[in-house]
Structure 1
Amino acid sequence: MAPQIALRDIHQATAPSWWPLAPGWWIVIAVVVAIIALAWFLRRRKIRRIRKLEAMFDDAVDAAPTPAAQVRAMSELLRRAARRRQREADTFEGETWLRFLDGGYKAPVFDSDAGRLLVDGAFRPGVDETDVRALRDIARRRFIEWMQR
């Protein structure tokens, strides 16, 4: 008979811990952090650019002494922005210009009361300041939209 072999109890190995993470998880975390940082940086840059454009628009309009001159300044800024979108856009006049400015909007914004100031408001002797303020809001929005592209 064979001598008795001393047997020991079988113990299972300890389960792997979640910490420290495997190298693949570190790579995934690094990529996610890099994407978040890049998105934050690009968003901050876009906001800074929008603020500069807003300041440029406001400074140019505020520098005009009269409401008619403010309308003229807004028209000039819109024509500069329109040229970035379509090369011959700065030559449009009257209804064609207003329809071009309304392009992309569901409802006509510039072909309405305040927007019509762009056609003849710069040449009128008495331009209402409330109309100029209303035009300023829509012109500023369109200017920034076109200058961002």
Structure 2
Amino acid sequence: MKLLTTQQSPQPQSAEVQALLQQMRDVHEPAAPGWWPPAPGWWMLALLTLVLAVVAVIWLRNSRRRRARSRYRIEGVHLLRRLDISAPDAAQTANELLKRVAITTYGRAACGNLTGAGWLQFLRDTADVECPREVEDLIGEKLYSGAVGNPAEINAVREFAINWVQRHKAQTPLQTAGEGGTAGV
């Protein structure tokens, strides 16, 4: 068997083929795709980013409002912790701070003029905090009789006041409806 290796020689072409060959152009790459409009995945990412930004703004605003509403608690606890229990008027000062926080929360009409047993009952009703017997004695009776109290009693009053400030029930909208304003701590 004989291998034929023949090269094909160009065949003379007709005029029609020649005209068609002259109309041919080089292969051109298509233009690069534009950046607009983006693919659906980019639209979803943009929407997700927008939703997350809105949620973050709402959360930050609510967090700031919550902190502003409870700033009086933080300040009250701070003042109570700084209270010098060795001072002769320490029990009176702790009671005043407790009263200021209560007035800020519930208004002057609800608790501003309460003393003795009425004041203790108000404190019990507005927070789930156990009131020790020495605190009841000091706030309920000794404070108004001019007795100073020993450092252990004053410390118990301070600790009770701190617990009450941190855990008292928040003011309800019905309580604020008829009250003009509240005093600051």
TM-score range (shorter-chain normalised) is: 0.5 to 0.7
| Count, aligned residues | 128
2:49 corresponds to which of 3, 17, 26: 26
Residue 112 of structure 1 corresponds to: 133
Residue 90 of structure 1 corresponds to: 112
Residue 65 of structure 1 corresponds to: 87
The 1-side partners of 2:60 and 2:103 are apart by 34
Structure 1 unmatched runs, 5+ = 1-15
Opposite residue 120 of structure 1, the aligned amino acid is E
1:129 corresponds to which of 151, 154, 162: 151
Q: TM-score, structure 2 length as denominator?
A: 0.52
Relative distance call for 1:36 and 1:80 in structure 2 (3 A) is closer
Relative distance call for 1:81 and 1:105 in structure 2 (3 A) is closer
Secondary structure of 1:62's aligned partner: coil
Is the Cα contact below 8 Å between 2:103 and 2:112 reproduced in 1?
Answer: yes
Q: Which is greater in Rg? A: 2
Deviates more, 1:137-146 or 1:37-46: 37-46
Q: Percent of pairs identical after alignment? A: 19
Quote the RMSD (CA, aligned, Å): 3.4
Relative distance call for 1:41 and 1:75 in structure 2 (3 A) is closer
Q: Deviations over 1:41-92 (max 9, x none)?
A: 4566567654433223334x328722xx111111222222333314152322
The 2-side partners of 1:94 and 1:80 are apart by 16
Q: TM-score, structure 1 length as denominator?
A: 0.61
